[in-house]
Structure 1
Amino acid sequence: MAIINFYKPLGWTPFECIEEIRRMHPEWKNDPITYTGRLDPMAEGVIVFLTGEDRHQKEAFQNLDKTYHATFLFGLSSDTYDALGIIQKGSDPTRDQIEQALTSLPGTHILPFPPYASYKVQGKPLHWWAQQHRLQEIHIPHKEMRVNHSHIETVSSERLDNIRSEVFSRIDRVTGNFRQAQSKDSWKNLGDSEQNYWISVVTLDVQSGTYIRALAHSLGNQLGCGAILLSLKRSSVGSFLEDGSEYKESYQQASPHL
């Protein structure tokens, strides 16, 4: 029937994307539509949707390599591994330490799933166990994740008040119950608004199933300072590119100023 290259706006769920696809294409109003990959609420970018008989190709599309533009923030940690979690202060790495750690990204990594993920353990998503405060009852499995190529775009320092303002703007766009108020409170409790934190923007070409949040957390552990995924954009899924995606034209999300 149809293969749809759709640009998921920041804050939307895949189901909201499906609703928009049906609105834009009334001819598919009664057709089954499925998505071939997820993006976290705080992420935006390309998702491929399939309708009708094309849904049977879902696994092939799920296995396509993906390209991301990731913004990592160093010196903080989060229970979700991104900016929408409960934030805690870490320590201050140096620029040289960060740049050295970033060079370790290409290759294969065996990492645990993020605690807030849809992967199921004992029949329930990991995020259910986390929300119930029962993670200690289960074993979080590890997964092979592979970075085919990475390119460090920038490494810069930014004041906390500027970071926080951008994060709050992004959190306010997230719909549903993702502890938005608690997350914002934890950001407010970090203290000195004039303190600077290191931020790096990295382009990553990865194999399917690679959690960029897990890579961020791993970098923080490697440096001993903590790190989170501040923002994420998926620019391609296989040969499906951001520039050719539907809804991109009407969704002009401003690029982060960080």
Structure 2
Amino acid sequence: MGRRKKKRSPEQRDGLLILNKPSGPTSAACLNDIKHQLKQFKIGHGGTLDPMAEGVLLVLLGHGTKLAPYLSGGTKTYRGTFRLGITTDTLDIQGEVVKESDVSASAEDVKRAILYWKELTEQEVPAYSAAKHEGKPLYALAREGKETPVKIKPIVISHVEVLDVQMPEAAFRVSCSAGTYIRSLVHSLGTRIGCGATLTSLVRESSEPFGLDQALDLMDVLENPESFPERVIPLADTLPHWPRFTLTEPLSGLVKNGAWLPVVDQPGELLAGELGDQAMLLDPEGTPLALVEAKLQNGTPKWAILRGLWNQD
């Protein structure tokens, strides 16, 4: 027998909630509170934050979970602080101090070291992280006292800004590719300077295309369940940085049958675009049909279906 589908909660919403995660609880704990207290049993995220970190956490609800790959991969911007002369096992101030060193570097040395982040193209994944080895999170191996494999990942740092340096502490802002570990950036800086460094605070200011000014406090969300539905961004508005095309009924029918529609090369026209462009297709009522990308099919530009959204089961 096939698996029986879970009954959908009448309170379940479809779309996106922009949460201002507080420092302290894990991202999973925040999602669990929303899941159980507001009966949002189909729930996901667009990139977690460490327990110490706060700021923008994209919470995906219902059919919004289908958009995870397209919301989690955007550029993230963080504001943070670190302290020189301390190294911890987790690379942040919540970890156990494993080394303390004198700080001989100057404020100018620290500024240059922060700005050097923009030259980095890869980083080492922290031992205390959710990255997996043979199906097991590295943090689980670390907590068991087992050796964690060294994993290197590519990163892109698009913007770096020195906000303040008051030795032995400094503040910064950085914009980076999804999955970049800010703890590792700080740790590598401390290694280059020679005295160690530990992240002391971190705020995610934006997760493209949404910012902290749009985010809601967790307790406010939980304590006001009556206003929750209107706070959820509808599915059709979850990718505001993508073009949206409202199709005719015949074209909608073709998309539901899996057809790739032709790319129009006249700007401003329905289905206009260039190779590599991504867009959302809507039916005549404004209901999302599919996410598409302009690709070549037999030498002809077509809107290839990335993710069908018309099945609302």
TM-score range, shorter chain: 0.7 to 0.9
**C-alpha displacement at 1:248, in angstroms?**
6.7
The aligned residue for residue 109 of structure 1 is 121
Instruction: Answer whether contact 1:235 1:241 (CA < 8 A) is retained.
Output: yes
The aligned residue for residue 56 of structure 1 is 66
The gaps in structure 1 that reach 5 residues or longer are: 158-197, 252-258
The aligned residue for residue 101 of structure 2 is 90
Equivalent residue for 2:84, pick from 74, 78, 92 = 74
Equivalent residue for 2:31, pick from 5, 8, 18 = 18
**C-alpha displacement at 1:94, in angstroms?**
2.0
Instruction: Answer whether contact 2:40 2:62 (CA < 8 A) is retained.
Output: no
**C-alpha displacement at 1:147, in angstroms?**
1.2
The aligned residue for residue 201 of structure 2 is 231
Instruction: Answer whether contact 1:145 1:211 (CA < 8 A) is retained.
Output: no
- SS of the residue corresponding to residue 24 of structure 2 reads coil
Instruction: Answer whether contact 1:107 1:148 (CA < 8 A) is retained.
Output: no
Instruction: Answer whether contact 2:27 2:51 (CA < 8 A) is retained.
Output: no
Change (3 A) 1:54 1:127: same
The aligned residue for residue 123 of structure 1 is 135
Q: How does 1:58-207 map to 2 (within 5 A)?
A: 58-87=68-97, 88-92=99-103, 93-135=105-147, 138-157=148-167, 198-207=168-177
Instruction: Answer whether contact 1:77 1:227 (CA < 8 A) is retained.
Output: yes
Identify, as 1 or 2, the structure richer in helix.
1
Answering whether residue 49 of structure 2 is matched by residue 36 of structure 1, we say no
- SS of the residue corresponding to residue 154 of structure 1 reads strand
- SS of the residue corresponding to residue 113 of structure 2 reads helix
Once the two structures are superposed, residues 98-152 of structure 1 have per-residue CA deviations (whole angstroms, 9 ceiling, x without a partner) of: 12211201133322100100100122111111111111xx522101122100111
So what's the TM-score if we normalise by structure 2? 0.62
**C-alpha displacement at 1:58, in angstroms?**
0.6
Structure 1 CA distance, aligned partners of 2:128 and 2:178? Answer: 18
Structure 2 CA distance, aligned partners of 1:149 and 1:14? Answer: 25
- SS of the residue corresponding to residue 105 of structure 1 reads helix
Counterpart of 1:13, as a letter, is T
Once the two structures are superposed, residues 15-67 of structure 1 have per-residue CA deviations (whole angstroms, 9 ceiling, x without a partner) of: 3322443577x4xx154011121111111011101111111111111101111
Once the two structures are superposed, residues 132-178 of structure 1 have per-residue CA deviations (whole angstroms, 9 ceiling, x without a partner) of: 1111xx52210112210011110013xxxxxxxxxxxxxxxxxxxxx
The aligned residue for residue 209 of structure 1 is 179
- SS of the residue corresponding to residue 77 of structure 1 reads strand
The aligned residue for residue 17 of structure 2 is 4
Structure 2 CA distance, aligned partners of 1:132 and 1:19? Answer: 25
Instruction: Answer whether contact 1:18 1:33 (CA < 8 A) is retained.
Output: yes
Structure number with higher relative contact order (C-alpha < 8 Å, ≥ 6 residues apart): 1
Structure 2 CA distance, aligned partners of 1:30 and 1:133? Answer: 36
Change (3 A) 1:128 1:150: same
The gaps in structure 2 that reach 5 residues or longer are: 1-13, 222-313
From the CA coordinates, give the structure whose radius of gyration is larger.
2
Instruction: Answer whether contact 1:216 1:229 (CA < 8 A) is retained.
Output: yes
Counterpart of 2:50, as a letter, is D
So what's the TM-score if we normalise by structure 1? 0.75
Instruction: Answer whether contact 2:23 2:53 (CA < 8 A) is retained.
Output: yes
Query: What is the identity percentage for the equivalent residue pairs of Structure 1 and Structure 2?
Result: 30
Runs of 4+ displaced beyond 4 Å:
248-251
Instruction: Answer whether contact 1:91 1:224 (CA < 8 A) is retained.
Output: no
**C-alpha displacement at 1:96, in angstroms?**
2.3
What RMSD over aligned residues (CA atoms) do the two structures have, in Å?
A: 1.8
Change (3 A) 1:209 1:30: closer
Counterpart of 2:15, as a letter, is A
- SS of the residue corresponding to residue 91 of structure 1 reads coil
